Amino acid sequence: MGKKYLLDCTLRDGGYLNDWEFGHDNLISVFERLTDAGVDIVEVGFIDDRRPYDHNRSIFPDTKSIANIWGCIKKRPHMVVGMIDYGTCALENIEPCESSFLDGIRVIFKKQKMHEAMAFCARVKGLGYKVFSQLVSITSYSDEELVELVRLVNEVEPYAVSMVDTYGLLEPELLLHYYEILDREVKPHIQIGFHAHNNFQMAYANAQAFLEKPTARDILVDGTLYGMGKSAGNAPLELLARKMNVKYNADYSIKSMLEAIEESVKPAQKKFSWGYNAFFYMCASNKCHPNYLNYYQKKGNLSPSGLDELLSRIEPEEKKLLYDKELAEQLYQDYISEKYNDEQVYRELGAALKKRDLLLIGPGKNIRLQEEKVLKYIKKHTPLVISVNFLPGNIPTDYVFLTKSSRYKQMAGDLYKYPDLKTIAASGVECRNGKFDYVVMRAPLLELKEQFVDNSFLMLLKVLKRAGITKASAAGFDGYSNKEDNYAVPAMEYDFVKGAAEFLNRHIREVLADEHKGMEVTFVTYSHYCDVEDIYSAAY
C-alpha cells in the first residue's frame, strides 16, 4: 500500500470568504498550529500577480513575497506549497525553488486549457518546484478527455495530479470511477490527490472513500480547518486527521488543529458563512454554476421552487458549469413568459376591484385598538376588504395580499377557515395545496433604492395602481414606532424596525406624496403616514 498524506488549504481556500485577509497574526498562528499538528503539506495561499503584497493577506504577487510572512519561522511542515490559477501569474514572478520559501506549487486549470496549463506546469517544474496539476471541475471531464489529460501528465511528470470537485457534485461511486482511470493510467510514481467541496454534504464521505480505495501509489487528500472554504466549504481537516489516525496509523495532533480553530477560524465564522446550505445544494443538484442562481435570485421574482425549476432548464449540458449571462437572461425571459402573465392578471384584478370601494387592512396595532371605527366604516361604505399579510379576525375580508413566504407561513394554517377569501400573491411566494387566485411579479413592486425594499403597504399600492385603481381607504397601517410594538400580531415584529422607525415613516410619506400622488388614500385609523389622528383624506 502506498502512503497517505494530508494537505491543508485553509489559508488559500478559506480566503475566498474574507478576500484572503486573515490578518498577520492569524497567518502565523494557523501555519504554526498546522506544523505542530504534523500536517504533511500546508498550502499558504494564492500567487496572483494582479494583487499587491499585503502582510495581512494570503494572496501574493510573486513567490518572493511569501517569505516576508513566514520566512523567519524555523519549524515548518514536510512541505509548503502555494497555488496558481493558471493565467494569473507570469513565470517571471516565480523565483527558482532553491531561493523560495515554497517547496511546491499547485496549478489549477479547467479542461479547456489543459494543454497550455500542463506546459506551464512543466516550466514551473523546471524551476525546481514539486508541481501539482489540479483538475478543476473533475466532473466536467469525459473518460476520453481524462485519458487525454493523463497523456499530458505522463509527459510532464508532475509531483501529483489531483481531482478537484469544484462544484461538489461527486458521490463516492463517480469519484472512484475517475480515481480508477487515473490510478490505472498515470505513471506509478506520480501521486494522486483529491479536493472536495460540500454542496451535497458529501465532502468528508467522498474523502473517506478516496482514502479507503486500495492502491500501491502515494495519495494525498485536501482538507481545511473546520471545513472553512469557498461556497459550501471543504472536508474538515480535523475529521480527516482523526480518520487517518484511527484507520491508517497516522499521528496527527488533533489538539493543535482544535487550537487553530478556536484561535483563528471560529472568529472568522462570526463574520463569514460557509458550509452546506440550500443555495449550493440547488446549484449542485442542477449541476450548474452558482452564478446562474445568483443572477436569478437578484431578479427578485422567484420562489425557491421556481428557481430550482429554472435552473433545471439550463442547456446544453456544456453550458451548465460555464456561466453564460446571455443564456441565463434568455432562459429567464422564456420562463417568466410561460409562468406569468402580468398584463392579464392586472386586467382581471382591476375588473374585480373596481366593482366597489376598497378598504386596505394592515397589521398595525390600531386595527385592534380602533376596530369599532373600522367596523362602522365597513357597515357604512360596504367596501371590498383587502388585508395584507395577515387575517384580521373579526373584520370581514374579501382578499388577502401575500408579499413573502414567511408571512404566508404565519397564516396559511388558518386560510382554510375562509373558503371565499381570494388570494393575491407576489411571485416569490409558493402556494400550498393548490394555487393563488392572482399572482403578480414581485420585483416591480419593490423599493430597490431603500433599506426596507419590501414594505407591504407600498407594494399593495403599486398593485392597485397597475390595476387601474385610483382611490382606496386604509386601516391598520400605523407606521412605525421606536417605543412600542408595531404589529397587532406579535409574531410579525421585525427586530430592526424600531431603530429605523423615523426613517421608514418619512420614506413612506415621501413615496405617497410622490409616486402615488394620483391615488386618493383615506386613513380610517391613526397613522404616522398622515398628520392628524382622525380620519384623514388627501389626494396624493
The answer, yes or no, to whether residue 540 has pLDDT greater than 80, is: no
Residue whose grid cell is 398595525: 364
CA angle 19, 25, 28 (to 5 degrees): 90
Cell of 440: 403578480
The answer, yes or no, to whether residue 539 has pLDDT greater than 60, is: no
Quick one: pLDDT band at residue 439, thresholds 50, 70, 90?
Answer: very high
Contact partners, residue 173, CB within 8 Å, separation at least 6? none
Of the two residues 478 and 183, the one the predictor is more confident about is 183
Every domain of the chain and the residues it spans: 4-269, 286-339, 342-539
Distance CA 389, CA 378 (A): 20
Cell of 112: 479547456
- Tell me if 365 sits within 8 A of 487, measured CB to CB: yes
Distance CA 285, CA 309 (A): 11
- Tell me if 184 sits within 8 A of 216, measured CB to CB: no
Chain centroid, CA 321 distance in Å: 16
* pTM (two decimals): 0.81
What's the whole-number mean pLDDT along residues 474-487?
79
pLDDT of residue 535: 43
Closest-CA residue to 405 (of 303, 300, 297): 303
The answer, yes or no, to whether residue 139 has pLDDT greater than 60, is: yes
Of the two residues 112 and 498, the one the predictor is more confident about is 112
pLDDT of residue 249: 95
What's the whole-number mean pLDDT along residues 52-63?
98
pLDDT of residue 483: 66
- Tell me if 386 sits within 8 A of 362, measured CB to CB: no
Q: Evaluate whether the domain defined by 4-269 bears CATH number 2.102.10.10.
A: no
What's the whole-number mean pLDDT along residues 353-360?
94
Asked which of 128-132, 259-263, 480-484, 527-531 is least confident by mean pLDDT, the reply is: 480-484
Quick one: pLDDT band at residue 537, thresholds 50, 70, 90?
Answer: very low
How many CA atoms are closer than 13 Å to the CA of 278, on its beta-carbon side? 6
What does the radius of gyration of the chain's CA atoms come to, in whole angstroms?
Answer: 30
- Tell me if 210 sits within 8 A of 221, measured CB to CB: yes
What's the whole-number mean pLDDT along residues 354-373?
91
What's the whole-number mean pLDDT along residues 63-89?
96
Residue whose grid cell is 478537484: 164
Contact partners, residue 73, CB within 8 Å, separation at least 6? 28, 31, 32, 35
Chain centroid, CA 354 distance in Å: 42
Q: List, in sequence order, every beta strand (DSSP E) within 17-153.
A: 41-47, 59-60, 79-85, 104-109, 130-135
pLDDT of residue 482: 73
Per-chain mean pLDDT for the chain: 92
How many CA atoms are closer than 13 Å to the CA of 37, on its beta-carbon side? 30
- Tell me if 283 sits within 8 A of 167, measured CB to CB: yes
What's the whole-number mean pLDDT along residues 433-462?
86
The answer, yes or no, to whether residue 536 has pLDDT greater than 70, is: no
pLDDT of residue 291: 95
User: DSSP state, 458?
Assistant: H
pLDDT of residue 414: 87
β-bridge mates for residue 536, sequence order: 523
Give the H/E segment covering residue 255: helix 254-260
Distance CA 399, CA 382 (A): 14
The answer, yes or no, to whether residue 83 has pLDDT greater than 60, is: yes
Pairing of strands 520-523, 358-361: unpaired
What's the whole-number mean pLDDT along residues 268-288?
93
Alpha-carbon dihedral 419, 421, 426, 429, rounded to 10 degrees: -20
Q: Which of left, alpha, beta for 293 (phi over 0: left; psi -120 to 50: alpha)?
A: alpha
Distance CA 116, CA 120 (A): 6
Residue whose grid cell is 382606496: 472
Distance CA 164, CA 170 (A): 10
Closest-CA residue to 46 (of 73, 87, 11, 78): 11
Distance CA 149, CA 135 (A): 9
Identity of residue 39: V
- Tell me if 231 sits within 8 A of 195, measured CB to CB: no
CA angle 135, 141, 145 (to 5 degrees): 100
Cell of 352: 374585480
In order of 53, 128, 145, 159, 163, the CA distances from 121 in angstroms are: 24, 11, 18, 10, 16
Give 170-206 pLDDT, tens digit per residue: 999 999 999 999 999 999 999 999 999 999 999 999 9
In order of 54, 133, 438, 533, the CA distances from 195 in angstroms are: 27, 12, 48, 65
How many CA atoms are closer than 13 Å to the CA of 498, on its beta-carbon side? 8
Rounded to a whole number, what is the largest CA-CA distance in the chain? 92
The answer, yes or no, to whether residue 224 has pLDDT greater than 90, is: yes
In order of 315, 327, 387, 498, 500, the CA distances from 322 in angstroms are: 11, 11, 45, 45, 42
- Tell me if 282 sits within 8 A of 308, measured CB to CB: yes
User: DSSP state, 73?
Assistant: -
User: Secondary structure of the chain: what % helix, strand, coil (to 5)?
Assistant: 45, 15, 40
The answer, yes or no, to whether residue 19 has pLDDT greater than 90, is: yes
